[in-house]
Structure 1
């Protein structure tokens, strides 16, 4: 069932606002070619209506539901490009690939989408690593509730929407530590695939996040 059809009217209103502001329905970080084309057409129409004076956002800047750039949804490189005014009325600037790869926010700055994601996955995997081997019914229920609330409150709204969509087809498995750990690994791999990253061997999730590697380098 699509997220906007869940019996939460406030969520339906939220997504309607997002679509009205951006011209695009809520979507994961990797928009489809058709969605990108529709957005570009909308931007061209907006430029024509204001005589081409409307500035464009750098590639990668994600708008929040209020129509303003969402810092928690945007990479540091794209945010810096926008902040420094590296835009044009006729072209959309794109930082060099080497600059993007090296660009990281200073440690005392608000996290960008990448740092937020990395720290979040560290927390979630560590959570599964400390989950009971044989959880009680109450612990299982609490864990399902936590995962549900996490999907609604995650600061990057587009990431949260993507997570909820995946979770709708892959219900949390919380009957044991092993099941929960593998489920979280699969959720992480789903994101890795979208971002073009390698998948992690979920058979090794416990070594990575709980016991340490067998070669002893974590001891």
Structure 2
């Protein structure tokens, strides 16, 4: 959950499910045809304005640079018939990786990393055998979480993923092992779509609950 690849769009026009990636399909336009194109990776919110929690910090900085460039008056020489073009304050084609100062709002990547930490930690503390009440509580949490997640594109994708017609992606809430494995598979779904290495779910408890057996976490 550390990389945003806005060019990835599924064949049906929907977005890959993830908590750190967002992109715009034909129904989620990145720009208005009557305006200058927005920088690559900038995702619009439902109100048509750029969505900060759906966009990477690099793309957001490119957007602010573009806004400053657009608002800067052009200059010309008054003593010559020729004019000197103003050099735009545009970002380089391949900007260097950007990081967010700790006191700034999170971008889609930071939000995603924090979200996975929360969800895996919830699985790690889930009862070994969950009673009906606990299962209902977690089911309700996942239902509303998938609707209220700050990146609306990601939220829509998660809802779609869980609602797969086969039922294979329904949350497994019978106990800690089932829930932890299900969540690990959900995370791996994101890894596959981002072209990242999948995590071996046999070790999810060592990663998120008990710590590694080699003692590195002690």
For Structure 1 versus Structure 2, the TM-score category normalised by the shorter chain is: 0.7 to 0.9
Aligned twin of 1:64? 45
Q: Distance in 1 between matches of 2:59 and 2:195?
A: 19
C-alpha deviations, 1:83-126, integer Å up to 9, x for none?
111778xxxx7755461xx2111111000000000000000000
Aligned twin of 2:104? 109
C-alpha deviations, 1:189-217, integer Å up to 9, x for none?
11112222111111110000000011111
After superposition, the Cα gap between the structure-2 partners of 1:217 and 1:168, relative to the gap in structure 1 and judged at 3 Å, is: same
Radius of gyration: which is bigger? Answer: 2
Give yes or no for the alignment of 1:171 onto 2:207. no
TM-score by length of 1: 0.74
Aligned twin of 1:119? 114
Give yes or no for the alignment of 1:196 onto 2:195. yes
Give the count of matched residue pairs.
Answer: 178
The gaps in structure 1 that reach 5 residues or longer are: 1-24, 48-53
Q: Which of residues 50, 55, 59 is equivalent to 1:78?
A: 59
Give yes or no for the alignment of 1:27 onto 2:15. yes
Return the structure number with greater helix share.
1
After superposition, the Cα gap between the structure-2 partners of 1:39 and 1:136, relative to the gap in structure 1 and judged at 3 Å, is: closer
After superposition, the Cα gap between the structure-2 partners of 1:95 and 1:146, relative to the gap in structure 1 and judged at 3 Å, is: farther
Q: Distance in 2 between matches of 1:216 and 1:181?
A: 22
What displacement does 1:27 show? 3.4
TM-score by length of 2: 0.74
Q: Distance in 1 between matches of 2:128 and 2:197?
A: 29
Q: Distance in 2 between matches of 1:197 and 1:95?
A: 26
After superposition, the Cα gap between the structure-2 partners of 1:104 and 1:175, relative to the gap in structure 1 and judged at 3 Å, is: same
What displacement does 1:187 show? 0.8
> Runs ≥4 in structure 1, deviation > 6 angstroms?
none
Give yes or no for the alignment of 1:155 onto 2:150. yes
What displacement does 1:26 show? 6.0
Q: Distance in 1 between matches of 2:179 and 2:149?
A: 20
After superposition, the Cα gap between the structure-2 partners of 1:96 and 1:148, relative to the gap in structure 1 and judged at 3 Å, is: same
The gaps in structure 2 that reach 5 residues or longer are: 1-12, 71-89
C-alpha deviations, 1:124-150, integer Å up to 9, x for none?
000000000011110011110000011
Q: Distance in 2 between matches of 1:81 and 1:55?
A: 13
* Maintained 8 Å contact 2:22/2:54: no
